[in-house]
């Protein structure tokens, strides 16, 4: 076995207390060796935490034992925190929930911020994530079942639903305008773009299903 495994460059200790007792070492309940953990074998959030640990240790090469609290303080000194890096899922979700309360959806632009928190970037990471837990997916679904859609498409689809709700139709001239409170919407133009994207195989399964459902509903109404 190589020295890299037997004697890693440094250890990362979690601040986990022992169930009982007053041992001064209770914060060393669990320790990892980031240098020997294959990053492709862990989730993206964990890989990011390990990357922060590597960056910290590179600035402090004599440290053989690094506490997780050290990383938190180091990030703060660099104008960042775990939430901004996306590794604090519940923290990011709280901001997404606040955005939903204000706007009624999670079609958040990637550059959007809420109280200086990059909630748009956090939401973009959730759309691309492949390792969300069932509980995390359920929490996002409760807020917005369309959260996996790209924000621009999500918002345009919602505008189409609003247009149909006030008497608009799927058929008609491409240059027709929206109704009600959204006269600048061009439903015909948007639908033509979707037809083209479908032909070119650029729509996701979810987008195709949503558009097909609208067509079936219209046929039922008129049929």
Instruction: Report CA 48 to chain centroid distance, whole Å.
Output: 14
Q: Using CA atoms, how far apart are residues 106 and 96, in angstroms rounded to an integer? A: 7
Q: What is the dihedral of CA 211, 214, 218, 221, to 10 degrees?
A: 160
Chain segment 157-187, per-residue pLDDT in tens: 999 999 998 888 888 777 787 777 788 889 9
Could you say which DSSP state residue 89 is in?
A: H
Chain segment 111-141, per-residue pLDDT in tens: 999 988 889 988 998 998 887 888 999 999 9
- Sign (positive or negative) of CA dihedral 71, 77, 82, 86: negative
- The structure's pTM equals 0.64
């Amino acid at each position: 076995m190589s020295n890299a495994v037997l004697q890693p460059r440094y250890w990362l200790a979690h601040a986990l207390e022992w169930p009982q007792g007053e041992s001064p070492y209770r914060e060393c309940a669990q320790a990892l060796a980031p240098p020997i953990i294959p990053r492709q074998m862990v989730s993206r959030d964990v890989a990011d935490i390990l990357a922060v640990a590597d960056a910290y240790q590179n600035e402090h090469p004599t440290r053989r034992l690094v506490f997780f609290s050290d990383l938190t303080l180091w990030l703060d000194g660099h104008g960042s925190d775990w939430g901004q890096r996306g590794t604090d899922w519940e923290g990011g979700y709280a901001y997404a929930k606040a955005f939903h309360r204000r706007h009624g959806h999670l079609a958040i632009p990637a550059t959007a911020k809420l109280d200086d928190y990059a909630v748009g970037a956090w939401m973009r990471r959730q759309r691309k994530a492949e390792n969300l837990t069932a509980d995390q997916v359920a929490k996002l679904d409760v807020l917005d079942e369309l959260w996996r859609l790209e924000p621009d498409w999500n918002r345009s689809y919602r505008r189409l639903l609003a247009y149909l709700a006030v008497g608009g139709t799927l058929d008609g001239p491409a240059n027709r305008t929206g109704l009600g409170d959204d006269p600048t919407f061009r439903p015909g133009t948007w639908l033509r773009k979707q037809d083209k994207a479908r032909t070119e195989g650029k729509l996701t399964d979810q987008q195709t299903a949503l558009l097909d459902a609208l067509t079936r509903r219209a046929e039922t109404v008129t049929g």
